[in-house]
Every structure is written in structure tokens, then in C-alpha cells.
Structure 1
């Protein structure tokens, strides 16, 4: 899948500004959702899932 956010744009600002457009296209929205999942999954600085469910 192709990244729907143009290379020269701030990723978070673009998603916020163009949310309705992205949400209306399942491929664009899916790309955004999956890329966020991968970013969180690969971030070793975050606590493990067990830490969150204990609270």
C-alpha cells in the first residue's frame, strides 16, 4: 500500500487535517491504522501490555 500522507507533510498534522478524507477511503484509513499499530508494536520504549492491564 502507498502512504497517503505526502512526503513533505507533517504526518500527525496531515492526518488530523484530512481525517474525513482518509476515513472515507478504506485503503487510506487502513494504511494509517496499520502504520500506527506497527509504530507502537516496534517501540521498545513503551511498557509491555501487562503493565497497562495491572492498573
Structure 2
């Protein structure tokens, strides 16, 4: 019985470690996505005046 409990505790610790790693991986991916979105928005903001000038000349 004691050995079974020890194995169960070890298995739970292993599962928790894997779960924490997945959460850390997911957090990292979310941070990467946020950075890509920020950069995309900044690029769009920088190109807005160009779009306005282009629209003025083509209309």
C-alpha cells in the first residue's frame, strides 16, 4: 500500500511538471503573438500617411 501511494504521488508530481511546462510554453507563444500584433499595428500606423497621400493623388 505504501509503495502504491508513493508511485501515485510521483505520477502526480510528474503530471504537474508537464502541465506547468505546457502553461509556460503557451504563455511564451501568447507573448510572441502579442509582439507580432504590436509590430503589425505599428507598421500600419506608419503607413497610414502614405495611404492618405496615395488616395489624394489617385482620386
Classify the TM-score, shorter chain. 0.3 to 0.5
Q: Which has the larger radius of gyration?
A: 2
TM-score (norm 1): 0.37
TM-score (norm 2): 0.35
